[in-house]
Amino acid sequence: MTSVLDLVRPDLRAFAGYASARREKATGHVWLNANESPWRSSADAGLSLNRYPEPQPTALRERMAALYGVAPERLMVTRGSDEGIDLLVRSFCRAGIDGVLVAPPCFGMYAVSARVQNAPLVEVPLEDRGREFSLDVTAVEDVIAHGDVRILFLCSPANPTGQALSIRQIRHIAKAATGLAVVVVDEAYAEFSSVDSAVSLLDEFPHLVVLRTLSKAYAMAGARIGAVLADPDVIKVLRSVAAPYSVAAPSASLALDALSESAQAEARARIATTIHEREALLKVLRGMKGVTSVYRSEGNFLLVRFADADLALRRLLAAGVVVRDMRAMPQLGDALRISIGTPDENAALLEALAR
């Protein structure tokens, strides 16, 4: 029987990482083991910032595990999803040998992490179906069978195109990748989606990894808190490769507050508002002069094609409305990505375009 550890870089399988002072299970009341300052800074707001933080803040890890419906040993807190992506590529891909599969147009950090690791990048472009993009699952499975890729990054809901993968599609791909590759499902926008999370497949496939983040639905982009959900053996490997203290104490404290019962209720209400605004904005934009296509989205954004994207962008910027120019990405030479704002912000967007 194969183990997910067989997919880890051979030189890292027995690698224990840096044994930081906080990884030791020592107890006491006089702490002289980490070369820290014994005095707190005047800027310290009660967080004991003169001391190094827990490598994996226990309270936050447990609360995030409960939020995502996994056991704490299946979760690693990361500096946003970016750190998780980087750690996965470095842990599983040998430089110049093990490839990374992506489905462009997609989130650019997958390719960046592959480039930094010198991991060959293999692309299976999304198919444009008019009002929705789709993944060619058969083409992905063919690449896996060829044996040149060690990690697949599947964004669901996908950024910037908006579509989500079904559980059936993910299961098909995970079965094809068994013993050959790690399948990573990036669910940064899952809270806005009507499609079920791939978390339900973690028990079935040890080589499946799910990425989540508090940056979007929980309004914590500035705190940089994400999570890798995976088999406990994968979590151990990633922790051995990670920096000793990657989660800052202020960020961990703020994230705990953002996941309180009342804060979660507020987040759910805002998610509902965002989804309502997204669907309303989609309808209005589809009927607007100069707009050639608006793609259905499961995220908190819309991908919009324009007859003259440059003119649309200039009009928006002149009105102080900033959107994302996607024209440098493959297949998106006439497209802008528009995040869903407050009702007033969305009205300002439409007014600027109509003008």
Q: What is the 3-state secondary structure (H, E, C) of 13-47?
A: CCCCCCCCHHHCCCCCCCCCCCCCCCCCCCCCCCC
- Residue 46: the pLDDT is 87
Give the number of other CB atoms < 10 A from CB of residue 60.
Answer: 23
- The answer to whether 235 and 73 have CB atoms below 8 angstroms apart is yes
**Could you give the C-alpha distances from 160 to 84, 156, 211, 223, 315, in angstroms and in order?**
19, 10, 17, 23, 21
Our CA angle for 252, 28, 23, nearest 5°, is 50
Exposure class string for 257-292: b at 16+ Cβ within 10 A, else e: ebbeeeeeeebeebbeebbebbeebbebbeeeeebe
pLDDT in tens, 70-124: 999 999 999 999 999 999 999 999 999 999 999 999 999 999 999 999 999 999 9
Residue 21 has pLDDT above 80, yes or no: no
Q: Is 29 exposed, middle or buried (0-12, 13-18, 19+ CB in 10 A)?
A: exposed
Q: Per-residue pLDDT tens for 278-324?
A: 999 999 999 999 999 999 999 999 999 999 999 999 999 999 999 99
The topology under which CATH files domain 4-259 is Aspartate Aminotransferase; domain 2 (3.40.640)
Mean pLDDT over all residues of the chain?
A: 96
Same-fold call for 4-259 versus 262-354: no
d(CA 12, CA 16): 8
**What pLDDT does residue 71 have?**
98
**Cβ contacts of residue 50 below 8 Å, gap of 6+?**
36, 37, 38, 39, 40, 41, 44
The amino acid occupying position 256 is L
Q: So what's the pLDDT on residue 254? A: 96
pLDDT in tens, 142-156: 999 999 999 999 999
- 132, pLDDT greater than 90: yes
Question: Is residue 24 pLDDT above 80, yes or no?
Answer: no
How is the chain split into domains, by residue range? 4-259, 262-354
Architecture of the domain delimited by 262-354: Alpha-Beta Complex (3.90)
| Token output for 324 | 């994302």
